[in-house]
Every structure is written in structure tokens, then in C-alpha cells.
Amino acid sequence: MWEERFAKKGYLFGTEPVPFLLKHDACFQKGQSVLSIAEGEGRNGVHLAKKGLHVTGVEFAPSAIAKAKKLAELNEVDVTFVGSDLFEWNWPQDAFDITLGLFFQFVGPEGRDTLWRKMLDATRPGGLIMIHGYTPKQLEFGTGGPSNAANLYSKADFDSVFEECDVLINEEYEAEQRSGSAHVGMSALIDFIARKPTA
Ligand SMILES: C[S@@+](CC[C@H](N)C(=O)[O-])C[C@H]1O[C@@H](n2cnc3c(N)ncnc32)[C@H](O)[C@@H]1O
């Protein structure tokens, strides 16, 4: 399904970063390493690389990766794009300053917890886990995202996987989005940022 959508002309989600990255810009420092899961067509990885971060983007749709590479080239930045299914990828451990997941709501609670645990494991002690997506209220707006309520998150869903982390932000809110042709209009969103313990 994803490959089919990305194989069409143009950037489905546009080439501007998700506003979440701009809102939490202070979290990103030049020289840091970032793992961006379900990176899509490169808009977020390229934005962070332009800020001087070392970005690894994992994505399984070949057409999305091809577009992401083009976007990086056009912006004259280096981003490491890895073509892999996140459930099959050999995730590095304790490796990244920041582990980032934006709109990766393609699985229900069990798969989601698996990916969240992998994100936590891949983050270095003291590093940040940053997650952004839609809440169940998004089904009322219908302006993008999955149609399956089980794939959407609420604040309490983060409690068990991240119970040992220092939660810095866990906030549900509504805001306008304008990302390509896929995420457009008033949306029900959630931001989650936590620090992995150092010991
Ligand atoms: C809603 S898009 C978001 C893309 C990007 N994060 C953004 O904000 O522009 C979800 C992405 O997840 C990717 N994806 C879905 N299932 C995946 C999997 N099992 N492994 C890796 N990527 C996957 C899709 O190909 C798609 O690029």
C-alpha cells in the first residue's frame, strides 16, 4: 500500500518538516546522532541534516527512499537512508542521541509497543525518545492518518514502555496541518518526549 502511494509523482507528505520538529527545535543540537524511523520521503531527515545532525532514516518503501535520496541531494546534505522493514531491521543498541518516530501508526498496540521498546533500546543512556502522531480524536477530523482506532495513541499509552524514563512532554492538542496532500486540515495530535535514564 505504501509503495503504491509513494510510486506516484510528487512528495505525498511534502518536503517541509513535520511542524513538531520546529516546535521542539531546542531538542536538536548540531553534531548529534538521530535515528528517524519510518522516515518516508526524507522531509524530516533532510531538515535535521541541514541543522548539522547525523541522521539515519529507516523506511521500507523503495520509492520513498528514492525520493528521500533526491531531496537530500537537492539540499546538499548527507543522510543515511536504510531500506528495511522496522520489524526485521537489526536495530543498534544504546546508539543514538535522539530516536525519532513521526506518524508511524501502521500497527496496533502490540506492534506499537514492540517498536517503542526498540526505540528505547536504540537510544543512548541520557538520550531522547521523541514520538509524534495522531490521537483517536483524529477519526472525527478525518484529515489524514489511519482509519483504525487501535493504531492511534493517547497519553496513557506511553506509561508502560517508558515508565523508567523522565517524561518531558506528553501532550494532546489540536492544530492545523499542511503536509503535502496527505495530512491537511485540523488534526488531533500528540507529542511525547522522554529522556532515557543514564543508569
Ligand atoms: C504516514 S507515513 C510518515 C512518513 C514520515 N515519518 C513523515 O512524517 O513524512 C508512514 C511511513 O511508515 C512507513 N512504514 C510503514 N510500515 C513500515 C515498516 N514495517 N517498516 C518501515 N517503514 C514502514 C511507510 O512506508 C511510510 O513511509
11-47: pLDDT as tens digits: 998 999 999 999 999 999 999 999 999 999 999 999 9
What's the domain count of the chain? 1
Pocket test for ligand 1, best of 44, 56, 59, 71 (most atoms within 8 A of CB): 59
Residue 182 clears pLDDT 90, i.e. is over it: no
> To the nearest 10°, the Cα dihedral for 25, 28, 34, 35?
-30
Give the ligand 1 atom nearest the CA of 40. 27
Q: Distance from the CA of 38 to the center of ligand 1, in angstroms?
A: 4
Domain that includes residue 52, residue range: 2-195
Contact 161, 120 (CB under 8 A): yes
Q: What span, in angstroms and rounded, lies between the C-alpha atoms of 141 and 20?
A: 19
HSE toward the beta carbon, residue 196, CA cutoff 13 A: 24
Ligand 1 binding pocket includes 106 (Cβ within 6 Å): yes
What is the per-residue pLDDT for 199? 73
- 2 ligand 1 Cβ < 6 A: yes
Average pLDDT over residues 130-155: 94
Residue 110: pLDDT above 90?
A: yes
Indicate the DSSP class of residue 85: -
Whole-number pLDDT of residue 179: 74
Per-residue H/E/C for 120-143: HHHEEEEEEEEEEEECCCHHHHCC
**CATH at residue 153:** 3.40.50.150
What local confidence, expressed as pLDDT, does residue 183 receive?
75
